[in-house]
Amino acid sequence: MLTIYGVYRSRATRNIWLAMELGIPFKQVPVIQVYRVPDTKAAGAPLHTQSPEFLKVNPNGRVPCIDDDGLVLCESLAINLYLAKKHGGPLGPANLGEDAQMTMWSMWAVTEVEGNALLVMQNRLSKPAAERDPQIAEKAVAALRGPFAVLDRHLVSSGHIVGDRFTAADINVAEVIRYAQAAPELFEAAPRVKAWLAACQARPQYKAMMAKRDAEPA
Ligand SMILES: N[C@@H](CCC(=O)N[C@@H](CS)C(=O)NCC(=O)O)C(=O)O
């Protein structure tokens, strides 16, 4: 049985969305980020990323993390690549070349996009208004214009990240690009990225995952 550690309001969404697309059963353990726990010493404090019992699972103190019948993995995008390969089907790679491309695009998302996309989200959306820094957001948007143009050109071929179908690579890249959605100007300049992300987020399993996320306390 697959166990996914992490609240919905975390990068665990990536793995939960994929598991739902694969149609595999899983158990979710709602480990919350330690900074969101007002008093970690209080009686009844929730399981969090620095809880001793969770640190035994992931010494990095980060979610998500999975335990798949004893195989323990962290790193959300690597977890998705593993699950897609294990369970096969169209979400996984059809051959070694696709496998390599799925890895490449996942690493591209983390290295070229995630940091700046997070800065956009934090400084335009998630931080309290008084703590947002518009200049940081502007600088991050400027830095993302290049990667967005690259992805926009890439999507000309099939409208998907790898092959001509929706795969785990679309989930991995879409979940990182999602953080930049507070910058509509990036999507206006990259219409294929805009259409591709809208199609990914229109999928029933994405909507089902997001409904659960929205139902979770902020
Ligand atoms: N590269 C890691 C990053 C994981 C990560 O930073 N997760 C955040 C939550 S989204 C976390 O657990 N932070 C620890 C904390 O805030 O306590 C991955 O993709 O899984």
- What separation in Å is there between the alpha carbon of 11 and the centre of ligand 1? 7
Q: Which residues, in sequence order, are CB contacts of 98 under 8 Å at separation 6+?
A: 162, 163, 167
Q: Is the pLDDT of residue 218 over 90?
A: no
Q: What is the pTM of this model?
A: 0.97
Question: What is the C-alpha separation between 156 and 193, in angstroms, rounded?
Answer: 10
83-118, pLDDT tens digit by residue? 999 998 999 999 999 999 999 999 999 999 999 999
Residue 138 confidence (pLDDT): 98
| Cβ 76 under 6 angstroms from ligand 1 | yes
Q: Report d(CA 110, CA 132) in Å as an integer.
A: 23
Tell the residue number behind the tokens 């983390």, with chain if given.
110
Alpha-carbon span 55 to 47, nearest angstrom = 11
Q: Which amino acid, 25? A: P
- Mean pLDDT score, 192-202: 98
Rounded to 10 degrees, the C-alpha dihedral 110/116/122/125 comes to -100
Integer Cα distance of 154 and 51 in angstroms: 42
pLDDT at 151 over 90: yes
Atom number in ligand 1 closest to CA 49 = 17
What backbone torsions phi and psi does residue 54 show, to the nearest 5 degrees?
A: -80, -35
Ligand 1 centroid distance, CA of 49 (Å): 9
* Ligand 1 centre distance from Cα of residue 27 (Å): 19
Share of the chain above pLDDT 90, in %: 99
Q: From CA 125, how far away is CA 134, in angstroms rounded?
A: 11
Cβ of 170 less than 6 Å from ligand 1: no
